[in-house]
Amino acid sequence: MPQSVLAVTSQGPVLGTWQHTTARFLGIPYAEAPVGDLRFAAPVPTKPWTEPLDATEYGPTAQRRPFILDGPTTIPEPSIPGDGVLNLNVFTPDPTPGADLPVLVWIHGGGYVAGSAASPWYDGSAFARDGIVLVSIGYRLGIEGFLHLDDAPDNRGVLDWIAALTWVRDNIDAFGGDPSKVTIAGQSAGGGAAQTLMATPSAHGLFRAAISQSGAVKSPQHRRDALADSTRLTERTGVPALASALRDLTGDELLALQDALATPEAGLTLAPFADGELIPVTVPDAFAEGSAAAVPLMLGFTRREFFPPAGSTPTPVPTEAVDAMLTGHGLGPDAVTMYTALRDRADPSLRMGQALTDAIFRGPSLALAESHAHHELPTWLYHFTWGSAAHCVEIPFAFDLLDAERVTAATGPNPPQSLADAMHGAWVAFIRDLDPGPNWPRYTNKRRTTMTWDAVPEALDDPLSAERRIWTMSPDTP
């Protein structure tokens, strides 16, 4: 039977368990359950308690169904019923106040409409083994988290992230963490969350560094785009985009509305946007103008984020459809022409997958790296190219969890432990020292050094120069 371990937070004591050399505290509430009048409100701090809170099992998730409905997602993402979805998990090697360990706050992905902090791929044991306290957080998703409502605060999911980071600031010392040594990180939507928090002034000071793995944000990301989405929802369903009209709907009824709003060409619809207050300007603009948090940033992407599954028979996509998608993601006519020429010899059946990879992940991240480095801020860029190099495949390498559930289904048999050692070691060094180590030089506007994560990792200068030129010449769609 696992040994119990107690920590005392500002709200009350929590009872976790030791698993080998890691103390695990799961499902700790950082805000009140978002139900009733709180469903579309800003998060409210939890009420205190006196008896030890059972923190031995993962808490409820905002996810009520998988991101992919007709098959398994790459990442195993449990959906756990319950109202108290604003909870977090802490993995620590030393739950002793004053241990002053660096902290990693992990924000899960899932397109801002799905995902789960309870995934075995986000287990913090390897980070704890290496002296890092890992905190993984849940937050409101989809309509509840991100749809603009005239009678509710915007970007409620972002407010949840800030509430979780505030909890970390106020409580992580009880788990051996140093609140002044927090790195925020995430993958896909979670990577976009890290980018968004850097563009959110009220979050500044709650973290000292950021990691964005295959980060994705809404594009375009202006307030008018979010208002248009709300109008579209009402036009398609007849339901007003008001908290008062949505508050008493069931979860299934909200998901049906969400499905009515989502279309393949819409991209990330329910996602953070520049509301002019909490998030003053779009993420690209914040980085370009220098208002994003002036902290060390490590970011990157995989080579084939959106490609057809192995063994499938993809359908060729007309060039016109690819061009329309690129235009919708902010590329101007000259840039679209350059991109078409760059991919002219690509397999037509794979062209859309590569274009989505570039438009959603690689191109915007290259532009952010350029902007951050332009302001002479510490920047490190990576490109994961090993194996399929598909979306999500780099996560178990960064977490050093190659033996976790369903990893080999994503990587194939015998994924190289040497690559996990190198990647995880760089992540640990960055979180601990604000530098991933001497083998990975900074990205600068002169050399543009990019760490290529493959069977033999190699730092290359400007390996994606053609893509970089295309995305840095194209401003966001006006």
Q: Is 391 marked active-site?
A: yes
The answer to whether the CB of 396 falls within 8 A of the CB of 76 is no
Q: Which of 66, 335, 59, 74 is nearest to 187 (CA)?
A: 74
* Burial per residue of 22-50, b for 16 or more beta-carbon CB atoms within 10 angstroms, e otherwise: bbbbbbbbbbbbbeeebbbbbbeebeeee
The one-letter amino acid at 408: T
Where helices occur in 177-331 by DSSP H, the ranges are 189-198, 223-237, 243-246, 251-261, 283-289, 319-328
The answer to whether the CB of 154 falls within 8 A of the CB of 148 is yes
The one-letter amino acid at 385: T
Which of 125, 188, 214, 219 does the annotation list as catalytic? 188
Which of 305, 370, 394, 467 does the annotation list as catalytic? 305
Which of 391, 394, 424, 474 does the annotation list as catalytic? 391
d(CA 126, CA 400): 6
Handedness of CA 14, 432, 183, 426 (dihedral sign): negative
DSSP assigned state of 434 = S
Q: Is 188 marked active-site?
A: yes
276 by Cβ neighbours in 10 Å (0-12 / 13-18 / 19+) ranks as exposed
d(CA 64, CA 56): 22
d(CA 367, CA 357): 14
The answer to whether the CB of 21 falls within 8 A of the CB of 94 is no
Q: Is 374 marked active-site?
A: no
Q: Which of 363, 373, 394 is nearest to 296 (CA)?
A: 373
Residue 269 CA, distance from chain mean position: 16
Which residues are identified as catalytic?
188, 305, 391
